Amino acid sequence: MTEIYFQKMTPEGYHEIELQIEELKKERPTKIARLKAARALGDLSENTEYSTAKRDLRHLESRLRYLNKQLTYAKVIQHRDGGPIDLGSTVTIEFLDDHSQITYQIVGTHEADLANHKLAFDSPLGQAMMGKMANLVVNVVAPDSTYQVKIINVK
């Protein structure tokens, strides 16, 4: 029996992929026209413009296939306020070793962006917090160390 793997993501992450697909589809006619123009130049074996245009179009098509597959296997998780930590939750934590605090939104793997405070649910910190409530201390097992964080607030 084949098990289907779903890619968990927030509604915002799903929408972001849709926007990327739209942008790539807008670029496609230009890339096709560039390829046709380069092909018309003649000898394809020594035609750098043709090789470059062909590579660029292949890259665009590959990216479109990848993004479409992401949407095909997407499982959009709708966040509910007041419950345990899940995708879409905004969590404020305190690192118990230095008492620094930070707030993250828990997101799908492809949405993760620490610079913008978006933490993947399947990262070591994300895994330790999933399903937990505020005012709990959790152990985080990271590749290089183990540490504790206190969940201050969950929205």
**pLDDT tens column, 96-142:** 999 999 999 999 998 999 999 999 999 999 999 999 999 999 999 98
Q: Where are the domains of the chain?
A: 7-76, 90-154
**pLDDT tens column, 8-61:** 999 999 999 999 999 999 999 999 999 999 888 877 777 788 989 999 999 999
* CATH number belonging to the domain at 7-76, selected among 3.40.50.720, 3.40.50.2300, 1.10.3720.10, 1.10.287.180: 1.10.287.180
Nearest to 11 by CA among 69, 65, 80: 80
pLDDT, position 4: 62
Bridge partner residues of 8 (DSSP): 75
Query: Is residue 3's pLDDT more than 90?
Result: no
pTM given for the model: 0.79
**CATH number for region 90-154:** 3.10.50.30
Cβ count near 151 (within 10 Å)? 20
